[in-house]
Structure 1
Amino acid sequence: MTPDLAPFPEAVAEAMRAELPKVAERAVEEIIVAVPSYADAFLGPMGRKISSAVELTLRGFLQLAAAGGNADAATPGGSVVEAAYALGRGEARSGRSMDALLAAYRVGARVSWRDMSAAAVAAGLGPEPVARFAELVFAYIDRLSAASVAGHADELASSGRARQRLLERLAHGLLTGSPHTELAAMAERAEWVPPRTLTVVLLPEGRARGALVSLDPRTLVAAEDVPDLDRTGDLAVLLVPDAEGAARGALLRGLGGREAVVGPARPWRNAQASYGRALRALRLGMISVDAGPLDTDAHLAELVLRADEEALADLRARVLAPLESVGPTAREKLTETLRSWLMHQGRRDQVAAALFVHPQTVRYRMTQLRELYGSRLEEPRTVLDLTVALGVALPTAAPPDDVR
């Protein structure tokens, strides 16, 4: 609570008013010494304007204090509060914390109190009014400091929200394939330094916040209206900078235990390509809840083979047609053997080990397959078609007609 203060004698008030220009100049000088980051701002014409503003502020306070009272004297006028609030916002826009401004307030209060109280004592003001006057000075400065802190916080909040919206627009532009010139302009407006590459990660929204903790702080998060994602559930889309090479392993480890799909690293302006591949893998059902993140780079063959599911089914039906003459159980075993024979390039012992059967069983089954296919098993084109058709495992015990 601020103290009551009797009106100053006119002689005292006049002596203090006469000292104000010098007090303001000395306050600025000492602020420059105590807060070096303000040195440039106080030089030249700007310094004179600031000195004048300090003097006007002190003059307004002195007018209130000299008139007596407590609450009025310790409460800055509306225009002064607005100026302090604007000063705090300006500090935030300049990228500075409140430390420098609060230090400047403290120095200004100390100098003002020291010099103005000296003038008051020299003019005959007693010790008790001087002490009360000191409390009013520092209460007044506290109010100004609070106004500046509020301005600083409000500016950070509003600028943070504005920048977040700009970053979300940039993410949307990247995912929709906006022209390169537009992307560069959006990145500049959002003050986002473009990386070499971007890697798209799809994961449940509820797990995105935890994942962001270990990712590059430049990671973009796509908000609403993500293209083509409406059919895949509540998923978040992250665009992770420079996650290629060794950094990709770190990304996958950081996503460990999360149901996520990781697209390929692409030049940052072509992030749409990474998004498209991750989305295809997701829609093909390649992700497993228990298997952790799916690295699409490790499943390129499967992505290629399943790019056209209907064509793949037709190819399987055609190349497996010779097996239609045998029963379902034999057909399944022969198909499994043929696939392993292709994958192991005809090495009988390796095929047997993969199928957990005796090598003689493999010999017997391959004899059956050669009878069914004839010389076609030696034709490069047939081998290629069979390899492609059987490159993705068939559903268990599913005959070709059921596949199609």
Structure 2
Amino acid sequence: MTDVDPVRHASRTARGAAELDLGEVAIGLLRSRLPKVAESTVRAVIVEVPGYANALAGSMGGNIQGAVQLALGGFLNLASSPRNGGDPGTPLAPALEGAYMLGRGEARSGRSMDALLAAYRVGARVSWRELSSIAVEAGLSAETLAKFAELVFAYIDELSAASVAGHTDELATTGRVRQRYLQRLGRSLLLGEPADQLASQAGRADWEPPRTLTAVMLPNAQVRAVLALLDPRTLRPEDEVPELEEEVGAEVAVLLVPDADGPARLALLRSLRGRQAWVGPSQPWTMVRTSYLRVLRARRLGLVSESDAPVDTDRQLAALVVAADPAALEDLRRRVLAPFEALRPATAERLVQTLREWLLHLGRRDDVAAAMHVHPQTVRYRMGQIRELFGERLEDPQVVVELTIALATYSPAKAESTDKPPS
């Protein structure tokens, strides 16, 4: 370990331990409950820190379990060391070394420190809740309990500092080189390079390919907060992102999120709530360019979603298909809506909107009226006018298909409902 001297750094926490006398009864009780405290802490980290949501399913689960047990065991050794007459730095050394290596591992996995520091905060809170409950059960006084609390949080600060040092050291050596490889891999994926070349680049970057990748586009200012919630293998191509140069390049970023298909897609969408984001379809990882082009088109078309949810392109397929050739759509719309051209603009707009709702609601007059906030008789009156304009063409299936396509994305300005049904 380069930047962290365990004995020197332990001295600040060890001074607190030297002033603390928990007693053999409390120490014994705490040791007996240590596995339960570790289990509660790990469970809380998994639940409350999204970056570790699926951690227990892989190798990271064992790392988390081991790190928590090592940290808690080191803490109890520290708390009992004054009575053993040993070096106060010795009990802390293994835990600090473990925290340092955990930080280096996070950097090697491409993960920032945000998730790990969040895990430390959650771990401090949960472990103190459990430890303080046991200490009260052991009959510790209020004064001793207060010193105990100071020692717990000073210890967590020591571990956090060691992890930050490990993360920094790793980035200063191999981390930066690997980051460049990852960025190049991300750009190659967006360009749609051949699968064998992509596999070679993934190996060079020490990046484990997932089953699928999902493209997400969002403002640059929101990337850091979102990355802390996602799989650490998430890629962020940064240099000359293809097809994006003409966009507001400095303000928009692309993320490629691993294995966000099936139930995991719902978790991804939830993590993006409240953010201006567009989410493409999940694709086999070497074919993520398809997902990227779709979010790019959705953004260019100005597609939006309801409330504060991100734009889920899987739910906007009809709009994307209809808008695939804007010029052809405009020609179709102009041709099929020609019967309205002789009317006053306000009247034509009301009738076009009525026809659109009529097609969408399969002619159910009450549903059309509810959607337009008018009386059913008004709908009946307007449809009578429309039938006079179109005649028998409204009975032609091909005309109905063309009208439906032409009006699928039609959204005229709302007009005053001044036309009255006949009495």
TM-score range, shorter chain: 0.5 to 0.7
Q: Which amino acid aligns with 2:352?
A: T
Partner of 2:198: 183
Q: Which residue of 2 aligns with 1:157?
A: 172
The aligned counterpart of 1:213 is: 228
CA 1:155/1:381 → structure 2, altered by over 3 Å: closer, same or farther? Answer: closer
1:168 alignment counterpart:
183
Q: Contact 1:171/1:220 (CA < 8 Å) preserved in 2? A: yes
Q: Which residue of 2 aligns with 1:252?
A: 269
Aligned partner letter, 2:182: L
- Does residue 276 in structure 1 map to residue 293 in structure 2? yes
Aligned partners of 2:168 and 2:339: how far apart in 1?
A: 76
Q: Which residue of 2 aligns with 1:366?
A: 383
Distance 1:299 1:241, change over 3 A: same
Alignment of 1:204 onto 2:227: no
Alpha-carbon distance change, 289 to 381 in structure 1, aligned in 2, over 3 angstroms = closer
Alignment of 1:23-62 (within 5 A): none
Residue segments in structure 1 that go unaligned for 5+ positions in a row: 1-91, 98-149, 399-404
Letter in 1 for 2:287: N
> 1:322-343, CA deviations, whole angstroms, 9 ceiling, x for partnerless residues?
1112211210111011000000
Q: What is residue 385 of structure 1 aligned with on the other side? A: 402
2:114 matched residue in structure 1: none
- The corresponding residue for 1:109 is none
Q: CA deviation at 1:292?
A: 3.9
Deviation of 1:157 (Å): 2.1
Q: Which residue of 2 aligns with 1:354?
A: 371
2:259 matched to 1:236?
no
Q: CA deviation at 1:289?
A: 11
TM-score of the pair, normalised by structure 2: 0.57
Separation in 2, partners of 1:223, 1:366:
54
> Which of 207, 216, 236 is equivalent to 1:192?
207
Cα pair distance change 1:389/1:207, threshold 3 Å: same
The root-mean-square deviation of aligned C-alpha atoms, in Å, is: 2.5
Are the structure 2 counterparts of residues 159 and 325 from structure 1 closer, same or farther at C-alpha, using a change threshold of 3 Å?
Answer: same
Q: Secondary structure at the match of 2:173?
A: helix
How many residue pairs get matched? Answer: 254
8 Å Cα contact 1:348-1:363 kept in structure 2:
yes
Distance in 2 between residues matched to 1:152 and 1:329, nearest whole Å: 64
C-alpha offsets along residues 14-39 of structure 1, whole Å, 9 cap, x if unaligned? xxxxxxxxxxxxxxxxxxxxxxxxxx
Q: CA 1:223/1:289 → structure 2, altered by over 3 Å: closer, same or farther?
A: farther
CA contact (8 A) 2:277 2:311 kept: yes
Task: Name which of structure 1's ranges 262-271 and 357-366 shifts more when overlaid on structure 2.
Answer: 357-366
Please show how residues 96-115 of structure 1 align to structure 2 within 5 Å: none
Q: How far off its partner does 1:309 sit?
A: 1.2
Q: Secondary structure at the match of 1:222?
A: coil
1:330 aligns with 347
SS at match of 1:201: strand
CA radius of gyration, larger in: 1
Instruction: Give 1:383 shift.
Output: 0.2
Distance 2:409 2:167 in 1: 59
Q: Distance in 1 between matches of 2:413 and 2:302?
A: 17
Q: Deviation per CA, 1:2-22, whole angstroms, max 9, x where unpaired?
A: xxxxxxxxxxxxxxxxxxxxx
1:344 aligns with 2:365: no
Distance 2:166 2:362 in 1: 73
* Percent identity over paired residues: 57
Show the counterpart of 1:310: 327
CA contact (8 A) 1:259 1:290 kept: no
The TM-score with structure 1 as length reference comes to 0.59
Asked if structure 1 preserves the Cα contact closer than 8 Å seen for 2:279 and 2:313, the reply is yes
Distance 1:158 1:376, change over 3 A: same
8 Å CA contact 1:174–1:271 kept in 2: the answer is: yes
Secondary structure (helix, strand or coil) at the match of 1:221 reads coil
Distance (Å, rounded) in 2 between the aligned partners of 1:162 and 1:240: 21
- SS across alignment from 2:368: helix
- State the distance in 2 between where 1:280 and 1:96 align: 37
Give the match's secondary structure for 1:345. Answer: coil
In structure 2, the CA distance between the partners of 1:154 and 1:394, relative to structure 1 (3 Å rule), is closer
Distance 1:160 1:330, change over 3 A: same
> Residue type matched to 2:333 in 1?
R
In structure 2, runs of 5+ residues without a counterpart are 1-100, 107-164, 416-423
- The one-letter code of the counterpart of 1:198 is L
Contact persistence 2:217–2:253 (CA under 8 A): yes
1:376 aligns with 2:383: no
